[in-house]
Amino acid sequence: MPEFLNAGETALVVEFGKTVDPRLHDEVLALDAALAAASVDGVVETVPTYRSLMVHYDPRKLDREALAERIETLLERSDKPALTPAKRSVPVCYEPPYAEDLPALAQALGIDEARVVALFGAATYRLYMYGFLPGFAYLGKLPKELEIPRRATPRPPVPPGAILVVGEQVVIAGVAMQTGWYMIGRTPLRLFDLERDPPFSFAVGDEVTFEPIAAADFA
């Protein structure tokens, strides 16, 4: 059984573990789907993250004990909905002027740029969560050979569509921001666009691969 942790009287954290682990994330996604299917009156919204699900609820309709019991019942059910992650391909340009930090990253790793690109492009990533800012997608995991510590000082703001790496994580930045991460490349794709319906194109749990494009095709 996961742990139930209080986040005030309007949110409950269902924590399956403390680490980044696709198996824990599967449990988060399964509970998220089960809760959505059960449409519990008083559940306002849910936020799936790496290893826990935050359930926001309205205390006027639901108290903590009733919510926890409902979740336990859902967790004990054997007919859990099957997870069918969508496969997503993200075009990414590793050429100037779209991959400002690729030389610095290659140098810091002690391997050449072509190898960085090849390793990065060969892996399949899982969209673990959105967070921080709208359309800011956290993906994992980066191949071991590409793991890199955070920069000592933040770089100037990256544009929307920046593909950033640090530690074992990859981020697709939906909005411009300053960061201590490395911008390995850029995508013309927008995960978040208010002019589009729906504004968010990828869901948590999706499988993501990166397909290289030439600078001339960046549009």
Partner 1 sequence: MIRILNAGPGTTIQDRGRFGYLRYGVVESGPMDWIAYELANRALENPPSAAALEIALGGIEIVCEERAERVAFAGGGFAWERDGKRLPSAAVVTLAPGERLRAASGTWGMWTYLAIEGGFDAPVVLGSRSTYARCDMGMVPRAGDALSAVPRLRVASQRYARDDTGVCAIASSLLARSERTIRVVLGPQDDYFTDEALGMLFGESFAVSPRFDRMGYWLDGPQLAHKNGFDIVSDGIPRGAMQVPGNGRVLVLMADHQSTGGYPKIGTVIRADFGLVAQRRPGEALRFALSGVDEARAALLAIYDELEKPVALEPVGAPVRSELLFASNLIGGIVDVSDDSARGS
Pattern 44-73, partner 1, x by CB under 8 A: xxxxxxxxxxx-x--xx--xx---------
Smallest separation (angstroms) from partner 1 to the CB of 169: 10
Among 200, 206, 212, 218, binds partner 1 (CB under 8 A): 200
Phi, psi of 193 (to 5 degrees): -150, 110
Residues 157-176 that bind partner 1 (CB under 8 A): 174-175
Cα separation, 45 vs 25, in Å, equals 18
Mark 9-38 with x for binding to partner 1 (rule: CB under 8 A) and - for no binding.
xxx-x-x--xxx------------------
Stretch that binds partner 1, among 108-116, 143-151, 196-204, 208-216 (CB under 8 A): 196-204
Instruction: Determine, following the binding rule CB under 8 A, whether residue 181 of this chain makes contact with partner 1.
Output: no
Residue 51 or 126: the one with the smaller Cβ distance to partner 1 is 51
Residues engaged in binding partner 1 (CB under 8 A) = 5-11, 13, 15, 18-20, 44-54, 56, 59-60, 63-64, 129-138, 174-175, 192, 194, 199-200, 204
